[in-house]
Amino acid sequence: MIFICSATHRTKSMYFFLLQTEQGDIFKITLETDDDVVSEIKLKYFDTVPPATAMCVLKTGFLFVASEFGNHYLYQIAHLGDDDDEPEFSSAMPLEEGETFFFAPRALKNLVLVDELPSFAPIVTSQVADLANEDTPQLYVLCGRGPRSTLRVLRHGLEVSEMAVSELPGNPNAVWTVKKRVDDEFDAYIIVSFVNATLVLSIGETVEEVTDSGFLGTTPTLCCAALGDDALVQVYPDGIRHIRSDKRVNEWKAPGKKSITKCAVNQRQVVITLSGRELVYFEMDPTGELNEYTERSEMPAEIMCMALGTVPDGEQRSWFLSVGLADNTVRILSLDPNNCLSPCSMQALPSPAESLCLVEMGHTESTTNPAGDEDVPTQRSGGSNKGTIYLNIGLSNGVLLRTVLDPVSGDLADTRTRYLGSRPVKLFRIKMQGSEAVLAMSSRTWLSYYHQNRFHLTPLSYETLEYASGFSSEQCSEGIVAISTNTLRILALEKLGAVFNQVAFPLQYTPRTFVIHPDTGRMLIAETDHNAYTEDTKNARKEQMAEEMRNAAGDEERELAREMANAFISEALPEDVFSAPKAGLGLWASQIRCLDAMHGQTMFSVPLTQNEAIMSMALLKFSIAADGRYYLAVGIAKDLQLNPRISQGGCIDIYKIDPTCSSLEFLHRTEIEEIPGALCGFQGRLLAGCGRMLRIYDLGKKKMLRKCENKHIPYQIVNIQAMGHRVYVSDVQESVFFIRYRRAENQLIIFADDTHPRWVTATTLLDYDTIAIADKFGNLSIQRLPHSVTDDVDEDPTGTKSLWDRGLLSGASQKSENICSFHVGEIIMSLQKATLIPGGSEALIYATLSGTVGAFVPFTSREDYDFFQHLEMHMRNENPPLCGRDHLSYRSSYYPVKNVLDGDLCEQYLSIDAVKQKSIAGDMFRTPNQICKKLEDIRTRYAF
């Protein structure tokens, strides 16, 4: 038994220690002292939790477990374990030689799980793909170790909790919630509008239809809201209905044959549109009556949408009205009584406005720093909570514009753009964490909100919605009531600030690699664990131990021993909690799993025999096979010992995959003398890295047929990539070798290599001449073949063909150029060139062993590169790292940083104080807003 971490709890009256073993079992240790000298140590089994790197007992009675791998946990200490029947062991107990203590693990008894902190560490490999056909790609990540391993599907968006779903008698077109009094804590009514009727639902322990609310139910509703302290207002096509708290109703009828087409309402103001262009303005007077402003305003084009802001605290009205017109403009009108409905400003739009929303978000100062997505506005030095007023404009082409509205002049400035989806954008103002937020609905639903001093614009991971409103009740204080087709849904958003929401599917062993079947989207995962038993071996071991228990029992105890042995066989503690039994060094367990990643369903699994470890896997089609089916090649090591590295050779298993990927048909096994560390499909054949030898195999009837071989890789092949006639082979410590396959001579020729040693962990091809390489020391480099490099020996003017074989200075005759170098600081386990957002540009996505997912994005212009280079230089000087280490030195830890700019450092510009922001912007001949906008643009162009 090895203790791996501990925690101490000390109070005036008592103290004890909690020690955890490598299996996760926690023991409570107490000390008996005699005049400050420890006379006895007492040990008692406490509970079992996942193995941790650190534990901490909080004064409030909680235990935080920072797990070694996987999620972290917070437990409440419900009992101290003093009164249970667990045996207590003491250092004073006499023990004969060879004797020891035994305890029985069990479910949690003294601890209660309170919360779970997600962690991806360790990420073994990952891949970006759209297997769910959601337009936006998902990130598939293999995480964890042993029985706590998982496949996690990450989607960009907020997790949505569905509180209730109710069917409605028809398809509604709008929904609102209102309170009876302004100081009520919860909403009183849900109002649902249909094409020819209005349904009023009362909110209580249950949601029920009411008929005495004062709302007109025989007509559709355009808008409704709470008015004043205790009144309600309903706007419908023929008029305005003002419902007082004593059920008295005042009605304003539309004149003549005109009807109301659009409206905007807040706590004290109502604005309507008559027959498309004519604006009519109402305002509540001190007696609580709605009074019409005497003059009406005619707009130059048809009004498409309108919006009023909320009335600021201590004021009588919102001072501006925003109006979207059919002439592709949005106009700001003043609501000041002295010049009511007079124009203040105008902004041209690329397409007609579908909806408008005025909200006050964030903090501001005398020099406003409005921020975009993920930007941080500066806070007024006086500590004012007054926010910046944003006009959100949803366009018919699926674009959301956010513009800052000047609270004094009504001018519009600093417009930010974000594409949300293929449908016109509808906007709704809701409450999140006591502040205003905007729900934007297109083909996906997005939430624009302010959280922890940052702006976020994040989609909801939920089906398409059509209309929404804020919702507050005893069960859900800050929810959303929305309609989708003929259903009414009550939703809650709990994990604000999260970039991804995740779904985790458990695996049995540590995942090593996976491939995706192109036709079905199902995943084939290779799982391999060291120091582990296969299921067959586990059952055999249980039977053996049970037989030993029966044989060791005497005649009188034989029946009891038989019952105990049967119980031992049938007992199964869940391995994801209590860990798997340790088999010993050199023992391996492996299996191939086919998983439907959308539903988390394991379609089938193929277990391997004991001591066979899957080292590599590849999916390919063989040219020689005329069936057009996909084949799975699996590289296996036999009886592998890690230190020193010894094995009994390896083999390559070939499976034929069913067209629906519902089964694997084993074809044959090819024995080889070395471990197959990498496999790759190549021109209808199989490339295999067998130790340090690179081979081409073709499909045979009884085994794979060796066709070609190259023995000039120095140590061990760990990765193979192929494109066209070229093969890019990664050595475990000598970087990447560029190899050309000459079909006429059937030769694999190394024509170029790297000038630096690199301990390769992952590679990906960027183009035919360029490859990105990650190494074990946290570096990323991009190597490119110069234009002068030739991979065709016939084009060599010297005709010295021997150079292809002999090389130069123990290497190839030609060398690649180092284009970029950067120290990430974490071991990169996977690299992929992929697009993260629909219509976005490609980026280099990486995942690290520590659980980080990040991206390197290319610059498309020299202007952008110069801008960020200067910003990075200023940030190094103005905002040095907290730990005091020089930033340039850190990013150049192993190789000098080259042609890579630190985006994380540049984004810290958003969080520094206003004086430094203004100083840096002045040195760059820009304004702080321009720098913030530039940072937002490059983030949203490539990533989330």
Asked if residue 115 lies in contact with residue 72, where contact means CB atoms within 8 angstroms, the answer is: no
Pick the range with the lowest mean pLDDT from 89-98, 773-782, 824-833, 906-915.
Answer: 89-98
Contact assessment for residue 403 and residue 414, using Cβ atoms and an 8 Å cutoff = yes
Report how far residue 872's alpha carbon sits from residue 907's, in angstroms, rounded to the nearest whole number: 9
CA distances from 306 to 241, 353, 356, 460, 567 (A): 19, 10, 6, 25, 73
Better-predicted residue by pLDDT, 689 or 82: 689
For 283-320, give the secondary structure using H, E and C: EECCCCCEEECCCCEECCCCEEEEEECCCCCCCCCCCE
Closest CA to 16 of 39, 48, 50, 43: 43
Q: CA 255 to CA 160: how far, in whole Å?
A: 45
DSSP secondary structure letter of residue 720: E
Given this model, what pLDDT does residue 381 score? 33
- pLDDT, position 370: 40
Strand-pair partners of 739: 727, 750
Collapsed DSSP state (helix, strand, coil) of residue 536: helix
Whether residue 795 has pLDDT greater than 70: no
How much is the pLDDT for 365? 39
Angle, helix 558-570 to helix 535-552, in steps of 10 degrees: 170
The DSSP code sequence of 329-340 is EEEEEE--GGGT
pLDDT at 369 over 70: no
Please give the angle made by the CA atoms of 681, 684 and 686, to the nearest 5 degrees: 40
Rounded Cα distance between 125 and 815, Å, is 29
Q: What is the mean pLDDT of residues 178-206?
A: 88
Q: Give whole-number Cα distances, 863 to 491, 869, 901, in Å.
A: 45, 10, 14
- Say yes or no to pLDDT of 800 above 50: no
pLDDT digits 0-9 by tens, 459-469: 998 888 999 99
Name the one residue in this structure whose structure tokens are 């419902």: 243
Ramachandran area for residue 627 (φ above 0: left; ψ -120 to 50: alpha; else beta): alpha
Q: Which pLDDT tens digit goes with each residue over 237-258?
A: 999 999 888 888 888 998 888 8
- The strand pairing partners of 614, in sequence order, are 636
pLDDT(367) > 60: no
pLDDT surpassing 80 at residue 830 = yes
379: confidence class by pLDDT, cuts 50, 70, 90: very low
Percent of the chain's residues with pLDDT above 70: 92
- Per DSSP, 545 falls in state H
Q: Tell me if 893 sits within 8 A of 899, measured CB to CB.
A: no
Over residues 185-209, mean pLDDT: 87
**Pair 393, 349: CB distance under 8 Å:** yes
> Other C-beta atoms within 10 Å of 885: how many?
11
Report the pLDDT value the prediction gives residue 229, as an integer from 0 to 100.
Answer: 85
Report the pLDDT value the prediction gives residue 82, as an integer from 0 to 100.
80
250-282 burial string, b = 16+ CB within 10 Å, else e? eebebeeebbbbbbbbbbbbbbbbbeebbbbbb
Q: What are phi and psi of 159, to 5 degrees?
A: -75, 135
Cβ neighbours for 359, distance < 8 A, ≥ 6 positions apart = 309, 389, 390, 392, 429, 436, 437, 438
Q: Which two structure tokens, joined as six digits, stand for 743?
A: 């079909």
Out of 415-429, 695-709, 842-856, 878-892, pick the least confident. 878-892
Q: Which residue, among 582, 548, 540, has the nearest Cα to 565 in the 3D structure?
A: 548
- Residue 810 has what pLDDT? 60
306, 263 contact by CB (below 8 A): yes
Contact 151, 522 (CB under 8 A): no
- Cβ neighbours of residue 517 closer than 8 Å, sequence gap 6 or more: 523, 524, 619, 630, 657, 661
**pLDDT value at position 781?**
97
Which of 596, 669, 592 has its CA nearest to residue 140? 596
The whole-angstrom separation of Cα 878 and Cα 887 is 12
Confidence at 803, pLDDT banded by 50, 70, 90: very low
CA–CA gap between residue 138 and residue 153 (Å, rounded):
7
826 CA to centre of own chain: 18
Burial class (CB in 10 A: 0-12, 13-18, 19+), 458: buried
| CA end-to-end span of the chain | 46
Contact (Cβ atoms closer than 8 angstroms) between residue 774 and residue 758: no
Least confident range from 260-274, 443-457, 762-776: namely 443-457
Alpha-carbon span 191 to 695, nearest angstrom:
71
Please say if the pLDDT value at position 414 is more than 90.
Answer: no
Burial tier of 809 (Cβ tally within 10 Å: 0-12, 13-18, 19+): exposed
Distance of alpha carbon 218 from alpha carbon 324, whole angstroms: 29
d(C-alpha 587, C-alpha 533), whole Å: 7
Rounded Cα–Cα distance for residues 585 and 573 (Å):
23
Average pLDDT, the chain: 87
Lowest-pLDDT choice from 93-97, 491-495, 597-601, 680-684: 93-97
- With CA atoms as reference, report the closest residue to 680 among 666, 668, 694: 694
Dig out the tokens for 61 from the structure. Answer: 């009675």
User: pLDDT of 634-656, one tens digit each?
Assistant: 999 999 998 888 899 999 999 99
Task: Write down the pLDDT at residue 372.
Answer: 42
Cis peptide before 350 (omega within 30 of 0): no
Residue 299 corresponds to which tokens in the numbers above? 């707009």
pLDDT at 300 over 70: yes
Per-residue pLDDT at 824: 96
Beta-strand ranges (E) seen in 146-188 are 150-156, 160-167, 174-178
pLDDT score at 432: 87
Q: What are phi and psi of 187, to 5 degrees?
A: -70, 150
Q: Say yes or no to pLDDT of 383 above 70.
A: no
Where residue 565 falls among pLDDT bands split at 50, 70, 90? low
With beta carbons less than 8 A apart as the criterion, state whether 578 and 49 touch.
Answer: no
Taking 70 as the threshold, does the pLDDT of residue 226 lie above it? Answer: yes
With cut-offs at 50, 70 and 90, classify the pLDDT of residue 107. confident
- Give the confidence band of 152 by pLDDT, cuts at 50, 70, 90: very high
Q: What does the pLDDT read at residue 27?
A: 92
pLDDT at residue 26 greater than cutoff 90 = yes
pLDDT at 941: 82
pLDDT at residue 192, as a whole number: 92
Half-sphere exposure of 443 (CA within 13 A, CB side): 12
CA 158-161-164 angle, 5° bins? 145
47 or 104, which is more confident? 47
Q: For 673-689, give the secondary structure using H, E and C.
A: CCCEEEEEEECCEEEEE
Nearest residue to 369 (alpha-carbon basis) of 944, 920, 941: 920
Q: Is 323 exposed, middle or buried (0-12, 13-18, 19+ CB in 10 A)?
A: buried
Packing angle of the helix pair 862-878, 914-923 (nearest 10 deg): 140
Give the CA-trace dihedral at 259, 262, 266, 270, to 10 degrees.
-30
Buried b (16+ CB within 10 A) or exposed e, 460-487: bbbeebbbbbbbbbeebebbbbbbbeee
Residue keyed to tokens 């290599």: 753
- 480's tokens: 């959303």
- Do residues 393 and 354 make contact, with C-beta atoms less than 8 angstroms apart? no
- Which helix (H) or strand (E) segment holds residue 871: the answer is helix 862-878
Tens of pLDDT along 690-721? 999 999 999 999 999 999 999 999 999 999 99
Identify which has the larger pLDDT, 21 or 802: 21
Q: What is the DSSP string of 209-271?
A: E-S-SS---SS--SEEEEETTTEEEEEETTEEEEE-TTS-EEEEEPPTT--EEEEEE-SSEEE
Q: What was the pLDDT predicted at 802?
A: 46
DSSP 658: P
Q: Pick the residue with more confidence: 496 or 386? A: 496
- Conformational region of residue 214, where left means phi above 0, alpha means psi within -120 to 50, and beta covers everything else: left
Q: How far apart are CA 924 and CA 319, in angstroms?
A: 36
Position 553 scores a pLDDT of 65
> How far apart (Å, rounded) are the C-alpha atoms in residues 4 and 835?
42
